[in-house]
Amino acid sequence: MFNITRDIPDIFPVILFESRIFAFATSTMTLVMISIAAVIACIMLVRKFSVIPSKFQVVLEMIQDMIVDLVSNITGDAKRSKELFPLIATLFLFLIVTNLLTLLPGLAEITFDGNPLFAHPTADINTTMGLALALVIFINIVSVKEWGILNYIGKFFQFKQVYQGFRKSFGDGMTAIIEFFVGILDIIGEIAKIISLALRLFGNMYAGNVLMIVLFGFLAYGIPALWLTMNLFVGILQAMVFAALTASYYMLAVKPSESEEPSE
């Protein structure tokens, strides 16, 4: 039996350097590397696209159709699915790369000043919280654009409904008051979306890292290899869950599309 000694990762990110207003963590370094690689890859891919597609372009188009179909199954709206495709596809691919990148052998051994230079981005609560916050803000901006600022505010503060309810009857007015407080609770629900999205992704990926290190310390081969395979599956699954929840929250925030007229 072989034992490998590794330190359990701290729940707080490792800071490479910092100033009074800014800190640059190892997870940030990984995100910067992923972003640069993504931009370069996109430029190279776009240059190779042509009217007569190559086999590689056909494969990419098949992946696009699969993602659109997946989003359509969640939204039930083909028009909205096409609108959501750039966001969901980017989010899905980004999370797959960030979830699986640090599983590459040897990457964790690249160090700077005694600390690993690259770290699991989604195992850093700052990354997942920032990502969740940006998505919820984006969804609410889309909701304002769809419904208008007054109708958007009216979803949370239903003064008009209370007034109209009491004009009808006392019972309708009391029901409207209950709905008024439910609308206020929806504000808490928006905050809860941020927390749930961030903690779900962070908790799964951080726990996977810790268990991997524990298994490597217990047994060098066999069980760690099985857990590595499980981590690959969990990384892809969490990317799908995060993207699916984003699509669901988006559909709750926008108006339903007008149904297409049935063909004669």
152-191 tens-digit pLDDT: 887 888 777 777 777 788 777 788 788 778 778 888 888 8
- Whether 199 shows a pLDDT value over 80: the answer reads yes
Structural domain for 151, as ranges: 15-253
Percent of the chain with pLDDT over 90: 1
Q: What is the mean pLDDT of residues 114-127?
A: 76
Compute the Cα dihedral for 61, 67, 73, 75 and give only its sign. negative
Higher pLDDT, 11 or 196: 196
Q: What is the total count of domains within the chain?
A: 1
Is 264 domain-assigned? no
Percent of the chain with pLDDT over 70: 77
Is 135 domain-assigned? yes
In this structure, the number of other CB atoms found within 10 A of the CB of residue 48 comes to 11
Answer whether 243's CB lies under 8 Å from 96's CB: no
**What is the value of pTM for the model shown?**
0.72
Answer whether 82's CB lies under 8 Å from 70's CB: no
Give how far Cα 64 sits from Cα of 36, 70, 78, 96, Å.
22, 10, 14, 15
Is 123 domain-assigned? yes
Query: Which pLDDT value is given to residue 215?
Result: 61
Is 204 domain-assigned? yes
SS3 54: coil
Is 9 domain-assigned? no
* Token pair belonging to 12: 């707080």
Least confident of 4-13, 22-31, 39-48, 66-75: 4-13
pLDDT tens across 214-229, in order? 665 555 555 555 556 6
Q: What is the mean pLDDT of residues 53-67?
A: 80
Query: Which pLDDT value is given to residue 223?
Result: 54
pLDDT tens across 9-39, in order? 566 677 777 777 777 777 888 888 888 888 8
Higher pLDDT, 10 or 241: 241
Answer whether 197's CB lies under 8 Å from 128's CB: yes
Split at pLDDT 50, 70, 90, the class of 264 is very low
pLDDT tens across 129-146, in order? 888 999 999 988 988 888
Query: Which pLDDT value is given to residue 34?
Result: 84
Least confident of 69-73, 115-119, 192-196: 115-119
Is 209 domain-assigned? yes
Largest CA distance in the chain: 79
- Whether 244 shows a pLDDT value over 80: the answer reads yes
Average per-residue pLDDT in the chain?
76
Query: Which pLDDT value is given to residue 133?
Result: 92
| Number of residues that make up the chain | 264
Query: Which pLDDT value is given to residue 225?
Result: 57
Is 262 domain-assigned? no
- Whether 104 shows a pLDDT value over 80: the answer reads no
Query: Which pLDDT value is given to residue 70?
Result: 78
